Amino acid sequence: IIYFLVFMHILIAYYIYTPLPDAIQQPWKLMMLDAYFRTGCCRADLAPHFGLLSTRGFEGIMKGLISESSPGPVPGVKVSDITFAGIPVRVYEPPAGGEGHLRRGLVYFHGGGWALGTTSECKYFGSLFCINKLNTVVVSVEYRLYPEVHFPVPYLDCLAAAKHFLSPEVLAKYAIDPERVAVAGDSAGGNLAAAVAQEISVDDSMSVKFSVQALIYPVLQALDFNTPSYVENQYMPILSRSFMIQFWVQYLNADLSLVPQFAVNNHSTLQHSAITPELRSRLDWNVLLPQKYKKNHKPLIVEKGSHGVLKKVPGLLDVRAAPLLAGPEVLAKCPRAYILTCEYDVLRDDGLMYARRLQDAGVTVTIAHYEDGFHGCFSFISWPLEFDVGKRALRGYLSWLQNNL
């Protein structure tokens, strides 16, 4: 029995332990969180075969975990669950101010790989935005998720809700200044926020448009999974390269057997004439990234690979799915931006490349880069999932909104 217990302890330690950079604070807490996440994902994957926990059930566990780690709603903030253009939303309203004072507005899209997440995860953020000297009406959108839907449904849900919120009638109802409305999101939500901001920016039928966009470690392209950050952080908690590729494949309604091909860029080979040199330049990290991030990495460009993949997965080149691929004429019309990136995140370079492309198009961009940050840290701000970098990231985010919205 003793030998068995020792063996089990070693096995558990081996499963939990992940080598982490020295800059990561509280490494064992992050390892435990990552092990929990990996276990949940494995159980969700096995559900169809063994009748275990489904993806939706795992989502419930993650929702409960994050919910328990976040402070409760702030007294005085009104919370309403309603619909905008048929899309469920949760609206946070600050306490009524003085007569005639217009408020800020913010539309928020949660993360979760287009497969996990819920508006309830935004309860504390929504309350903070309302009362932290921001006087902001916050709308968190409950867009539909995988496996029930695929691209472009989540994007269309978010776009419909955003357009409804930006209508003069709705802004007037909530006493919102039409010159002070933001769109924001984290991870997959950052993807949706960037895509929605682009679409609304070029939509001449919209009389009110977003004045700022705030993107938290956004995922912005699916053609190159070998950027320096994807290579360096491919095994980093809590978003490995394999998980991110799987989220993309699911979102784009492709066969999961393509994941290994995507991992080695066989889906974006030179033989694909639709991926023109001009299009490739829009995610050429060898040009768009500062040297400190490029280091000694070399671009992985494959001459021949998966045949016909672009016909099977047309969303790969759709700017509504991959905002980094948008042309400069579109980016030039986008609102000024705040882009948060983390050093130890596969998505780091997506955010940095997008920041550079926006700047090249003439858009004012604030880059908030956290040298000790990891993917998801923005959500971990209270016990038992409290990380100092998460609290610093949230404070910086609120400060930028205070000064720019």
List residues with catalytic annotation. 187, 345, 375
Query: Are 55 and 44 contacting, i.e. CB atoms less than 8 angstroms apart?
Result: yes
134: tokens are: 């921001």
Which letter does DSSP use for residue 132 in this model? T
Residue partners of 52: CB distance under 8 A and separation at least 6: 43, 46
Measured distance CA(314)–CA(345) in Å, rounded: 26
Measured distance CA(21)–CA(334) in Å, rounded: 36
Which letter does DSSP use for residue 316 in this model? G
Measured distance CA(190)–CA(1) in Å, rounded: 50
Query: Are 34 and 238 contacting, i.e. CB atoms less than 8 angstroms apart?
Result: yes
Nearest by Cα to 158 from 141, 181, 182, 140: 141
334: tokens are: 């986008």
Task: Using alpha carbons, list the distances in angstroms from residue 266 to 223, 242, 262, 299, 316.
Answer: 9, 15, 6, 13, 13
Which amino acid is residue 378, in one-letter code?
A: F
Measured distance CA(74)–CA(94) in Å, rounded: 10
Cis peptide before 154 (omega within 30 of 0): no
Q: What number of other Cβ atoms are within 10 A of residue 273's Cβ?
A: 7
Residue 191, Cα to own-chain centre: how many angstroms?
6
Query: Are 223 and 244 contacting, i.e. CB atoms less than 8 angstroms apart?
Result: no
Helix runs in 153-308, H state only: 153-166, 168-173, 188-201, 228-232, 241-251, 259-263, 277-281, 285-288, 291-294
Query: Are 218 and 322 contacting, i.e. CB atoms less than 8 angstroms apart?
Result: no
